Amino acid sequence: MLNSTFAAMDFSLSDHQLLIRDTVREFMRSEVRPHVKEWERTDHFPLDAIKKLGALGCCGMLTPEAYGGPGLDTISYVLMLEEVARVHVAMATALSVTNSAVQLPLLAFATEAQKSRYLKPLAAGEFLGAFCLTEPAAGSDAAAIQATATRHVAQGESGSPAAFSGSSACGTVTPDCALGVSSASSTQGAGGRSFSSDIDQPQKAGASAPEELLSSSTGHESLATSHYLLNGTKTWVTNGSHAGLYIIFAKTQPELGGKGITAFLVEPTFPGFHIGRHEDKMGQRSSPSVEIILDNCEVPAANRLGEEGQGLKIALSALDGGRIGIAAQAVGLAQAALDESVKYARARKAFGRSIGEFQAIQFMLADMHTEIEAARALLYHAAFLKDRPLASGARVSDRPDVALAFMPAPSDSVVSSGAPPSSLACLPSLWQEGGSSLSSSRHSPLATSHSPSSSAKLYASEMVNRVVYKAVQIHGSQGYSRESEVERMYRDARVISIYEGTSEIQRTIIARDLLRS
């Protein structure tokens, strides 16, 4: 008879998780698979299909019911992404950003007024979220962003026409920004900003208008008539041409480096917000990656997410949540490449027999399968750990303190040395500020490392590239043809070890945890 110790190592999925997996699998098979080739060929972003997935609860899976989501566990979330990526990885990218990079920081750091305005339509898939951290001169080194945010208080509010909470220098528009603004002038405007025509004005979908956020926001001093002016250029913004809400990171105090970054909730209708050029990408062509240009973009102070200076912390916690989703995407895509390869190995004949009878092909298939299973195990374990500290019933997204336990501490080395090192190579100071309530969870057996999601992302993203390489090899010349599925998979896989933290940055996080534990 099994005792509770054995039960704790049960690897089976619950009936509910199986139902979610099978429902999404069937949807992707019937509604998406027949169109993928055409969508990728024409760079078509499948909004309608994403909206249908939203109706199934896939656009805000981790968001609690109180805010319009199904409030599911992280395993259910990765199962959904795996199934989507198995058919169309570009859709999985869109879903990953709106689910975790946008909604998790809202759950952890937004005021009640901000949550009630934005979470419901995001969770329902009425509009998508976008996450704007990367800039032309700052990717891995997030602390080096140059976008600025200058606080203005309306005349009469504080006795002066324009009062600044940060340094007066932070209103400077950088040369990059100036170039971006001029290049954007012809591309700004309505160009597909909303998820669907009926949500063209995202502020109509929320519970309250921005002015109402002002009166109901708490903890923000004198926000009623003040705003920030954002300037700068963001690049590679996934969903950027179609989102209804953008989390944008900009410096309120540039002289503080990473500690001077603040996060803002920006709607595409805010004055000074422009959509710039679309990236011409190697793969995932159905997923739009665009430039966002901020030209004195006027953001109500009530739309600041968290406190001034908390932005890097918010960004890094979002990215940590995102890594699990990217690992799920890698596993789903790799599984699809293996499925195609097995089919082809059975069907293709050479030297009078199927190529699957050659040991060389068998070994490739066996290695692909084994690596996928290893990545899946890492992925599910990371997802399990994400929810595990909350065995009492609450979930990570409800507990910003626990979410922070999994995030790398931001670097303030820019401040101390003036040098631009990786922002993800942590220094302890901010960590201690952000993690003051974490001491007990950090010492629990399940939380001694903060890098399970990094390990899953690192291994899965490199695994999928090895797997698609072999899939093309098994397909021979057919694998090099645009007609084959694996040719697209080969291109789609390449970016997975780059976005949401490159492999090198994941290794840095993992090694840092090893060395300080």
Ligand X SMILES: Cc1cc2nc3c(=O)[nH]c(=O)nc-3n(C[C@H](O)[C@H](O)[C@H](O)COP(=O)(O)OP(=O)(O)OC[C@H]3O[C@@H](n4cnc5c(N)ncnc54)[C@H](O)[C@@H]3O)c2cc1C
Least Å distance between CB 508 and ligand X?
6
What is the distance between the alpha carbons of residues 119 and 23, in angstroms, rounded to a whole number?
24
Nearer of residues 247 and 345 to ligand X, judged by Cβ: 247
Which of 49-57, 454-462, 478-486, 497-505 is the region at the interface with ligand X (rule: CB under 6 A)? Answer: 497-505
Site for ligand X in 230-249 (CB under 6 A): 236-238
d(CA 90, CA 83): 12
∠ CA 322-107-332, rounded to 5°? 25
Segment near ligand X (CB under 6 A); pick from 18-26, 114-122, 460-468, 491-499 = 491-499
The residue number whose beta carbon is nearest to ligand X equals 139
CB of 372 to ligand X, least distance (A): 22
Using the structure block, give the residue that is written with the tokens 């809400």.
245
45 binds ligand X (CB under 6 A): no
H or E segment at 148?
strand 148-153
CB 301 within 8 A of CB 265: no
Interactions with ligand X, residue window 84-113 (CB under 6 A): 97
Q: Are 113 and 206 in contact (CB under 8 A)?
A: no
What character string, x for contact with ligand X (CB under 6 A) and - otherwise, covers 128-147?
---xxxx----xxx------
Other Cβ atoms closer than 10 A to 112? 12
Nearer to ligand X, 281 or 369 (CB): 281
Measured from the CB of residue 481, what is the shortest distance to ligand X in angstroms? 24
Closest CA to 47 of 176, 209, 200: 200
Region of 126-134, 171-179, 218-226, 305-313 interacting with ligand X (CB under 6 A): 126-134
Instruction: Say how far apart CA 384 and CA 74 lie, in whole Å.
Output: 7
Quote the CA–CA distance of 420 and 313 in Å, as a whole number. 17
- Residue from 56, 163, 498, 510 that binds ligand X (CB under 6 A)? 498
Which residue among the candidates 485, 487, 500, 504 is catalytic per the annotation?
A: 500
Q: Are 122 and 245 in contact (CB under 8 A)?
A: yes
Distance CA 102, CA 209 (A): 20
Please classify residue 164 by burial: count the beta carbons closer than 10 Å to its beta carbon, then call 0-12 exposed, 13-18 middle and 19+ buried: middle
Site for ligand X in 381-440 (CB under 6 A): 422, 425
What is the spatial distance between Cα 284 and Cα 90, in angstroms, rounded to a whole number?
5
Angle, in degrees to the nearest 10, between helices 47-55 and 15-27: 160
| Residues 196-215 close enough to bind ligand X by CB under 6 A | none
Task: Give the separation between CA 376 and CA 368, rounded to whole angstroms.
Answer: 12
- Number of residues engaging ligand X in binding (CB under 6 A): 23
Stretch that binds ligand X, among 105-113, 144-152, 161-169, 498-506 (CB under 6 A): 498-506
Mapped onto helix, strand or coil, the DSSP state of residue 32 is helix
Least separation in angstroms between residue 259's CB and ligand X is: 18
Q: Which is nearer to ligand X, 118 or 249 (CB)?
A: 249
Q: Which is nearer to ligand X, 236 or 273 (by Cβ)? A: 236
User: What is the signed CA dihedral for 82, 84, 88, 94, rounded to 10 degrees?
Assistant: -100
Residue closer to ligand X, measured from CB, 485 or 500 = 500
Which H or E element spans position 205? helix 202-205
Q: How far is the CB of 476 from ligand X (least distance, A)?
A: 29
Q: Which of 495, 496, 506, 509 binds ligand X (CB under 6 A)?
A: 495
Figure out which of the listed residues 502, 506, 509, 513 binds ligand X, where binding follows CB under 6 A: 502
Which is closer to ligand X, CB of 134 or CB of 262?
Answer: 134
Measuring CA to CA, which residue among 169, 154, 161, 297 is closest to residue 222? 154
Q: Contact at 8 Å (CB) between 124 and 368?
A: no
If the CB atoms of residues 136 and 356 are measured against ligand X, the closer one turns out to be: 136
Rank residues 263 and 337 by Cβ distance to ligand X and give the closer one: 263
Nearest distance in Å: CB 424, ligand X: 7
Please indicate whether residue 485 is annotated as part of the active site.
Answer: no
Residue that is written with structure tokens 């969870």 in the block: 441
Q: How far is the CB of 496 from ligand X (least distance, A)?
A: 9
Question: Under a CB-based contact definition with an 8 Å cutoff, are residues 82 and 331 in contact?
Answer: yes
Decide whether 378 or 493 has the Cβ nearer to ligand X: 493
- Distance of closest approach, residue 510 Cβ to ligand X, in angstroms: 13
As a whole number of angstroms, the distance between CA 127 and CA 200 comes to: 9
Q: Which position among 488, 499, 509, 512 is part of the footprint of ligand X (CB under 6 A)?
A: 499
Shortest reach from residue 497's CB to ligand X, in Å: 9
Place of tokens 């291994």: 459
The catalytic residue positions are 500
Residues contributing to the site for ligand X (CB under 6 A)? 97, 131-134, 139-141, 236-238, 284, 289, 422, 425, 495, 498-500, 502, 504-505, 508
